[in-house]
Structure 1
């Protein structure tokens, strides 16, 4: 397999004002990030308008959903929104889709949707992809996957696969997940870009803020100390070496970083891009 170039995304979902949201997007672009990614939760901005605003404030930064919960929108609505955002962003949109986080059922109920069974949500993701692929200006599609059925769908239909593993996941489980994806994709595996999310970047484990527990569902320092893949600890050079090894061993070349740590990670980008 030809080694892919690294890509880097900032995962952000809120700002106190429109001006500060635009400033976040511009800062991500200045720091060398490739994409700005917005989650799909009722605690964050609605993805499509927030991404449109970010695209309007920048010139090269791509924008993407990370990831739309399948239960929250019909396939036709997603296709309509996608077509518009692709046009107003001059082709800089990347559509991320998934079956929904474990607690996404409450969001779906609030929005009047039916969360449904895992099979229902898998079918909704597949139907949404089919609707979007019919567009003349269809964007790249990211599918968030970690379990066998969604991995098989991603292997067959995604351009980008977001490996939806918990932050405390260790590298052996990452290896098993990538192996399952590789087996399902066959020759198509080389076409897939693999994405992994980073919850925190810090010089030492003790420098990881304890309040991050609200986001990761446990003690982030314990997770980092035990080798959780969502935590990057050490100097920029050490982290760059780690990411290069993971790219070589696991084919992960697209790194998404919590926006609260984008300044710290920018030093890693400098090392990797030399």
Structure 2
């Protein structure tokens, strides 16, 4: 059975010193990776990752996830390779198709139909692999482009690749190419503005994991399976915490569904650790991310799960 890895994500960078201290705290608490997102309302991901690695000794860094339609393949390859070099080979690259329409509107970019964005993601993976291959790298007028330190993802020519989602098209791409598959815990609410989500149920997650595993075939056992935990509440009353989720979602999720969700953690440290062990057996989730506000609340659970 694969051992757990634990990670958190960057919500903001109030100042350089504050961010450095936050990264060092994460490392002391036992986290393995610090992730940055790729949203217009958040800091630019690659400078954040270089700073996080420079501030720590062993913390890996990664994108969860890059908004592929924002990027040109050649320019993104340069960013990834340079960041992998500057972090000493500690980079993990998460790629996604984008889902927040307002970001495209604000950036003056077309918001293509989902199928088009999914194809852009698939093409981007192949293009990055070609840029990372030494035998395909032609000298340019300004010199040879940088190459990643790691040779694990992208067909063995770059950093580990993370792809995650909920729908069939993205999970097929993830199953075919990713070293780390993130089975997303969110579904687009039908008829609502793009980017309006509800949490997946335990049963839906069972089906999505089975779908991805089936399409991965023999690769499934080599894949690291990832989940993003949306809420961590240490409490002696799990039902009350779950009921609050039901209230917060306007009844879109019942308390019973919240208690069963693999993307929500409620209870004592021992109960939360036991839940994650059950979910490892049920879904295969061993790479877990919590949002930055839960960095310290989740730390005792990490300690409880470390061998």
TM-score normalised over the length of structure 1: 0.90
Equivalence map 1:56-205=2 (5 Å): 56-101=54-99, 104-134=100-130, 135=132, 136-137=147-148, 138-166=158-186, 168-204=199-235, 205=238
Q: Name the structure 1 match of 2:195.
A: none
SS at structure 2 position matched to 1:253: strand
Alignment equivalent of 1:34, drawn from 32, 35, 50: 32
Is 1:255 the equivalent of 2:292? no
Equivalence map 1:181-260=2 (5 Å): 181-204=212-235, 205=238, 206=240, 218=249, 226-227=257-258, 228-260=261-293
Q: How far apart are the structure 2 equivalents of 1:153 and 1:23?
A: 37
Cα separation, partners in 2 of 1:267 and 1:176, compared to 1, 3 Å: same
Q: How far apart are the structure 2 equivalents of 1:185 and 1:49?
A: 33
Q: Cα offset for 1:224?
A: 5.9
In structure 1, list runs of 5 or more residues that go unmatched.
none
Contact 2:202-2:257 within 8 A present in 1 as well: no
Q: How far apart are the structure 2 equivalents of 1:220 and 1:50?
A: 37
Deviations 1:146-180 (A, max 9, x none): 11111111100001111122263221111000000
SS at structure 1 position matched to 2:293: helix
Cα separation, partners in 2 of 1:123 and 1:168, compared to 1, 3 Å: closer
Is 1:12 the equivalent of 2:6? no
Cα separation, partners in 2 of 1:201 and 1:121, compared to 1, 3 Å: same
Q: Cα offset for 1:66?
A: 0.7
Name whichever of 123-132 and 85-94 sits farther off.
123-132
Q: How far apart are the structure 1 equivalents of 2:110 and 2:78?
A: 20
Q: Name the structure 2 match of 1:43.
A: 41
Number of aligned residue pairs: 266
SS at structure 2 position matched to 1:132: helix
Q: How far apart are the structure 1 equivalents of 2:15 and 2:7?
A: 21
SS at structure 2 position matched to 1:226: helix
Cα separation, partners in 2 of 1:34 and 1:233, compared to 1, 3 Å: same
Cα RMSD of the aligned pairs, angstroms, is 2.3
Deviations 1:29-80 (A, max 9, x none): 1111010011111111111111111111112101111111111111222111
Deviations 1:110-169 (A, max 9, x none): 334333122221222122212332324210000022111111111000011111222632
Q: Which has the larger radius of gyration?
A: 2
Name whichever of 84-93 and 193-202 sits farther off.
193-202
TM-score normalised over the length of structure 2: 0.80
Contact 2:224-2:286 within 8 A present in 1 as well: yes
